[in-house]
Amino acid sequence: MELIADDTVGQPADASFLSVRKQHHGGLLYEVNSVETMKWLMEQANMDAFVRSFGAEAQIRVRPWKLTFPNVPVMFTPCEKEYRALERENGWTDRAVMVAHWIKPLDKRKPNQRTAFLLIQFRTDEAANAAIRDGMLYMGRRIKPDRRKREVRRCLKCQHFEPAHLAAACKGEDTCGTCGSKEHKTQACYVPEGPERFCVNCNEHGHASWERECPTFPREGSTSSMPCADLLVVPGG
């Protein structure tokens, strides 16, 4: 705080860092003492001053506020033009939408599917809270975000739910999530819906490892909640 004091404006009198934690990818996660300090530090000029004082290779990465919307028409195309149109239709601030993507891969959709789940990452808590409170308008349709409990992660390498882990830490074999083959990845699988699909979690044919119909699909999880406001400083990008 002392290093950036001369290059910033409007610093809260009690602004301070409470803790710092090293992330698995090498970045540093800083916790500040208040929402006011966080908002002050996130102003562009203040972020620039912080980065200059921290080190030439440092970058600040803003953690997004993620919401999932069900029943979004599949005609929506995740791109900059659509993001800006969503902001105008909903009265969100410019660049409030960072990115959006469909939960299920496009090639896994059923024939004639008209709607799907869309994950949107918001840049600000104001826009995310507005979407939670009022829903999202898209082509005259108001869509409320999904508020169900968060489900346990599935490893995208070995396809197992338990023990809970991510692909980066997986010691298992590369396994296709659709047919169970170890000769190709899920994205390269062309096995159609039906008995040829195989689930590695219940060891049964008829459905894929990623399908919710699986009897072993975890349905208990922590209640979905908004993340805490923070700064993620990533050395070297």
Report residue 34 as tokens.
């208040």
Q: What is the pLDDT of residues 82-103, one digit of tens each?
A: 999 999 999 998 889 999 999 8
What is this structure's pTM? 0.55
**Where along the chain do the CATH 3.30.70 domains lie?**
65-143
Confidence band, pLDDT 50/70/90 cuts, at residue 73: very high
- Tell me yes or no: is domain 65-143 CATH 1.20.5: no
Element (H or E) spanning 81, and its range? helix 80-90
Alpha-carbon span 172 to 157, nearest angstrom? 7
- For 114-165, the three-class secondary structure string (H helix, E strand, C coil) is CEEEEEEEECCHHHHHHHHHHCEEECCEEECCCCCCCCCCCCCCCCCCCCCC
Q: Which amino acid is at 121?
A: Q
Q: pLDDT (tens digit, 9 = 90+) per residue, 205-231?
A: 988 988 877 888 765 443 333 443 344
DSSP string computed for 16-76: -EEEEEE-TTS-EEEEES-HHHHHHHTSHHHHHHHHHHH-TTEEEEEPPEEEEEEEEETT-
Q: What is the pLDDT of residue 114?
A: 93
What digits encode the pLDDT tens for the residues 132-177?
Answer: 999 999 998 999 998 665 556 788 899 988 777 778 888 888 999 9
Q: Which neighbouring-strand residues pair with 224?
A: none
